[in-house]
Structure 1
């Protein structure tokens, strides 16, 4: 008979998960690695322009904070803040905006918040799944069959659950945002068309796109405007 051993932490496809199915350790390690890269950029470059800083950040730092985000989405505000703090620290490398509030730094550099990008990425992944872009036969989503004209024809039934772990899982947390999208967005023929229509819709109706970590430093209306406008410039 084979013996089994208890493991407190495992890594699968470079994503860490502990024995409580928490991704806290993954967030800690990812942010630590990304912060080190930000430090290397600061020590290597004596002078940074807006364009150079953004290029370095998008190619070297942000991928470390977004790899596999659909799986390890931060559950607690503290972890969300820890991830966002990396981007905040990176924007402060530019001397001309170092003393400005974080949202103004994002506006200057034409960057959306990381929390907004994760939410937008969730919608893109869900569109790909529902429209068969991802090769999988297992049905994770229960498409609602209704004649209700509100929302869209691809609404997903949201099942009740009592655990926060389940509430924060991809198949559960995306339901409300997806169901609120209009028919023209969810039925987009291509992924690029979906992205364009999603950005246009959120520009008009900024639903669920507000990271609480940023609301402490700027009025809600100004934050909405910056996040939606500059999200269209985000690369995937």
Structure 2
């Protein structure tokens, strides 16, 4: 099996990394500031903030589709939809990229608060959560 040079990249990790250029046979391997592996985005500082942003964006898009596509706001309808369609985006590989910074946690919690606002009868909980975290 031949190695596909177009798919191979070098990710330089660490602050004191000299960032050498690497080659395989006669071809140089391209360097990259961030790479995605198994659906998780990792940068050269092993910072996962970008992954949190992408996860929140995907979850917000799905939540918007639920909001536009479902007329019922009852707990029995919205809760299973959010559990099945939104939560997987927020929890995918979270053991690896778990939010490291407070701003990342707040970003993911904002998606959950938005989902809570969709449910009739629980709108007031999203306001209380905002007051408690401030």
Distance 2:105 2:112 in 1: 12
Distance 2:31 2:131 in 1: 40
TM-score when normalising by structure 2: 0.73
Other structure's SS at 2:35 match: strand
In structure 2, the gaps of 5 or more residues are 1-22
1:102 matched residue in structure 2:
126
Q: CA deviation at 1:215?
A: 3.5
Specify which of 79, 82, 90 is matched with residue 104 of structure 2. 79
TM-score when normalising by structure 1: 0.43
Distance 1:214 1:96 in 2: 18
Distance 1:30 1:214 in 2: 24
Q: CA deviation at 1:47?
A: 1.5
Distance 2:99 2:131 in 1: 16
Map 1:165-204; keep pairs closer than 5 Å: none
Structure showing greater radius of gyration is 2
Query: Relative to total residues, which structure has the larger strand share, 1 or 2?
Result: 2
Q: CA deviation at 1:66?
A: 0.4
Distance 2:53 2:108 in 1: 9
Q: CA RMSD in A?
A: 2.1
In structure 1, the gaps of 5 or more residues are 106-212, 218-236
Map 1:1-236; keep pairs closer than 5 Å: 1-2=23-24, 3-98=28-123, 100-102=124-126, 215-216=132-133
String of CA shifts for 1:183-235, please: whole Å, max 9, x gaps. Answer: xxxxxxxxxxxxxxxxxxxxxxxxxxxxxx77437xxxxxxxxxxxxxxxxxx
Q: CA deviation at 1:104?
A: 6.6
Other structure's SS at 1:62 match: helix
String of CA shifts for 1:99-143, please: whole Å, max 9, x gaps. Answer: x133878xxxxxxxxxxxxxxxxxxxxxxxxxxxxxxxxxxxxxx
Count of residues in Structure 1 that have an aligned counterpart in Structure 2: 109
String of CA shifts for 1:151-193, please: whole Å, max 9, x gaps. Answer: xxxxxxxxxxxxxxxxxxxxxxxxxxxxxxxxxxxxxxxxxxx
Contact kept in structure 1, 2:74 and 2:120, CA below 8 Å: no
Other structure's SS at 1:20 match: coil
